[in-house]
């Protein structure tokens, strides 16, 4: 049974990771989602506006500002995880405390436009890398000690395509009523 606030916590639902290889055609829509996310997040942040970005998207949730900065933090971490997995055999990645990062002083003091610009540059570079991977590279793995699971790069692609859309959904919850 879903918790009462699941619609607010997971506005696009929970991620569904592939259990078998997707192949190039199966990966294409996720690559496109990653490529489009910076512009989508920037448009949503503009539409929400400054005052609303300081409000939480749900009771007990992050503010819109925290969401934008979190996406940049999270996607930077994932980009590095991809690079580690491509250059090392099943590296153990380093988890981080997302909540503690969201409460660091730079989150409150830095305009969201800085993280949106960072995401634009990061996703450009990340997508270029991803579009050059062969099928075998997509099956390379990293180990996440927080979840105690190995994850293929293909699964990480699906997860982070979902992650950006998930937080876009949070920003859309802050839009002014139509």
In this model, does residue 17 exceed pLDDT 60? Answer: yes
DSSP assigned state of 55: S
Residue 92 confidence (pLDDT): 98
In this structure, is residue 178 part of a structural domain?
Answer: no
In this structure, is residue 44 part of a structural domain?
Answer: yes
Residue 1 confidence (pLDDT): 40
In this structure, is residue 137 part of a structural domain?
Answer: yes
> Minimal CA–CA distance to 37: which of 162, 172, 177, 140?
162
Residue 138 confidence (pLDDT): 98
Using pLDDT thresholds of 50, 70 and 90, give the confidence band for residue 37.
Answer: very high
State pLDDT tens for residues 58-117: 999 999 999 999 999 999 999 999 999 999 999 999 999 999 999 999 999 999 999 999
Q: How many domains does the chain have?
A: 1
Residue 148 confidence (pLDDT): 96
147: CATH: 1.20.120.450
CA–CA separation, 71 vs 89, rounded Å?
Answer: 27
Residue 3 confidence (pLDDT): 56
Using pLDDT thresholds of 50, 70 and 90, give the confidence band for residue 161.
Answer: very high
Quote the percentage of the chain above a pLDDT of 70: 98
Helices (H) and strands (E) in the chain — how many of each? 8, 2
In this structure, is residue 112 part of a structural domain?
Answer: yes
145-159 average pLDDT score: 97
Residues with Cβ within 8 Å of 114's Cβ and at least 6 positions away in sequence, in order, are: none
In this model, does residue 178 exceed pLDDT 90? Answer: no
For the chain, give the mean pLDDT.
95
In this model, does residue 118 exceed pLDDT 60? Answer: yes
In this structure, is residue 6 part of a structural domain?
Answer: no
In this structure, is residue 14 part of a structural domain?
Answer: no
Q: Which domain holds residue 104?
A: 24-173
42-67 average pLDDT score: 96
In this structure, is residue 18 part of a structural domain?
Answer: no
In this structure, is residue 37 part of a structural domain?
Answer: yes
Residue 4 has φ and ψ, to the nearest 5°, of -60, -35
Using pLDDT thresholds of 50, 70 and 90, give the confidence band for residue 5.
Answer: confident
In this model, does residue 52 exceed pLDDT 60? Answer: yes
């Amino acid at each position: 049974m879903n918790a009462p606030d699941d619609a607010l916590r997971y506005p696009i639902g929970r991620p569904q990771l592939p259990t078998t290889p997707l192949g190039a055609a199966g990966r294409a829509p996720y690559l496109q989602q990653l490529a489009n996310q910076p512009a989508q997040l920037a448009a949503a942040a503009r539409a929400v506006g400054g005052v609303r970005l300081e409000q939480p998207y749900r009771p007990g949730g992050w503010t819109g500002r925290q969401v934008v900065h979190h996406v940049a933090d999270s996607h930077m971490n994932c980009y590095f995880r991809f690079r580690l997995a491509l250059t090392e055999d099943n590296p153990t990645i380093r988890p981080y405390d997302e909540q503690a990062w969201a409460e660091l002083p730079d989150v409150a003091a830095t305009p969201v436009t800085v993280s949106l610009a960072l995401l634009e540059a990061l996703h450009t570079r990340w997508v270029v890398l991803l579009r050059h991977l062969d099928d075998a590279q997509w099956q390379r793995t990293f180990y996440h000690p927080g979840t105690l699971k190995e994850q293929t790069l293909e699964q990480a692609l699906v997860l982070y395509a979902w992650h950006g859309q998930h937080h876009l959904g949070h920003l859309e919850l802050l839009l002014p009523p139509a």
